[in-house]
Amino acid sequence: MQAQAGVSDGQLGLALLFVGAGALPAMLLVGRALDRWGLKVAAGVISALGVVGAGLALTAVDLATLCVGLALVGATSGAADVAMNAVAGRAEELARRPVITRAHGTFSSFVVLGSLATGLASSASLPLTVPFLAAAALSVIAGAAMLGTLPAGVAGTSPGHAASARPSSPAQLRMVPLVLIGTLGALAFASENAHQSWSAVFAHDQLHAGAGLTAVAPAVFAATVAITRFAAGGLGAAHVQTVLLAGALAAGAGAVIIAVSPTLLVAAVGLTVAAAGTAVLFPTLVGVVSRNVDESRRGRATAVVTTVSYLGFLLGPVYVGLCADAFGLRGAMFAVAALAVALFVLAPALLRLSGFHHRADRDGAGRDHAGRDDTASGVDVGRRTAERRTAGPSGGEVAAGAGHGGATGR
């Protein structure tokens, strides 16, 4: 893409900023669209992402067209992220079993497959447009499949959730708890993307690995993330804080192992440990939100948490670059470990302040003991009734008179 557009490294760096510039506002807008028009919005967003990506490959011939194309890709990618997470949250609520973490595992699996397929296309000297057109075709097919399977109507108005539908008012969606959860997500994403963006550079510069071996590092990270998410996908709501603390501990330990690694093999072990730790963090946070907001506000809640978290995704590699300039790459890996330490320390406090922690425990216990014949709407109403009887006015409430919501991503 850089060669086709004829831009320098500095110009490419500038153009990549437009990805974030397009993604952030689109995330917030699609959350409102999901709440207003229903989950079928996700089908259109998924299809649009593939089409826009192909359009970028066809039209990016200079700096201006590259910037515009990347902004559109960022917008559709961010919107798709929120939409997929909202759909996964709704699926988990209806199925009453863990879905979100496994959906993230599927996402990570396709990251690995996409990377390998793109590498093969490049090594075969295929035109730049070929992998993008293939991805566009798959996206349109996926969007069509979603259109036929997702429930029609506005979220919260399906027969199984009619009881939970309420007039949607911005004042009823409490932002502070969502921002607190998003802050934890930002720390998780900063650590994850730092490893994804800098692992190959570290292997080459510090351990003098060849180009072939350094290219494997990001794939190893993504594959470990996928495997961990599938393996941990069955953990329920009752284990939220334990999962977050264990994930943060592993992410920090992995970064320290990388920082002190004398050989590529030791660094690979550290990268695997870090990947396993970061893998469970964001899906777990999304699940916390998914269980604690009203169905009719799922899109906006997911959008807020994902947008705040995405700031960490954008800033993580920048943070590593600045630390590398100041302390060297090994020092920068210690700085990445510091992100995990911050998450480990802040997670219990921010979960408690958000008001989600105790509700997650109650929901987890309730799900473990609920009868198989309970309908989703019946359990919904019972939980909300109990909460209204026992909960006093609290800044931790996410929605007026209720506490229970969604997010698939990275």
Q: What is the pLDDT of residues 208-240, one digit of tens each?
A: 887 667 767 777 888 899 999 999 887 766 788
The pair of three-digit structure tokens given for residue 121, joined into one six-digit string:
């296309």
Residue 395 covered by a domain? no
> What pLDDT score was predicted for residue 173?
60
Residue 28 covered by a domain? yes
Alpha carbon distance, N-terminus to C-terminus of the chain: 23
Q: Measured between alpha carbons, how far is 195 from 198 in angstroms, rounded to an integer?
A: 5
Is pLDDT of 32 > 60?
yes
Residue 104 covered by a domain? yes
Residue 280 covered by a domain? yes
Question: For the domain that residue 248 is a member of, what is the CATH number?
Answer: 1.20.1250.20
> What pLDDT score was predicted for residue 153?
62
Which residues, other chains included, contact 226 with Cβ-Cβ below 8 Å and sequence gap of 6+? 105, 106, 108, 109, 111, 112, 279
Residue 187 covered by a domain? yes
Residue 146 covered by a domain? yes
Q: 85 vs 169, which has greater pLDDT?
A: 85
Is pLDDT of 273 > 70?
yes
> What pLDDT score was predicted for residue 261?
95
pLDDT confidence bin for 395, thresholds 50/70/90: very low
Q: 160 vs 141, which has greater pLDDT?
A: 141
pLDDT confidence bin for 357, thresholds 50/70/90: low
Q: Measured between alpha carbons, how far is 193 from 410 in angstroms, rounded to an integer?
A: 9
> What pLDDT score was predicted for residue 237?
66
pLDDT confidence bin for 317, thresholds 50/70/90: confident
> What pLDDT score was predicted for residue 293?
85
Mean pLDDT, all residues of the chain: 81
SS3 402: strand
Residue 116 covered by a domain? yes
Average pLDDT over residues 272-280: 95
Print the domain residue range for 237: 2-151+174-390
Q: How many CB atoms lie within 10 A of CB 112?
A: 18
Residue 159 covered by a domain? no
Total domain count, the chain: 1
Q: What are phi and psi of 395, to 5 degrees?
A: -70, -15
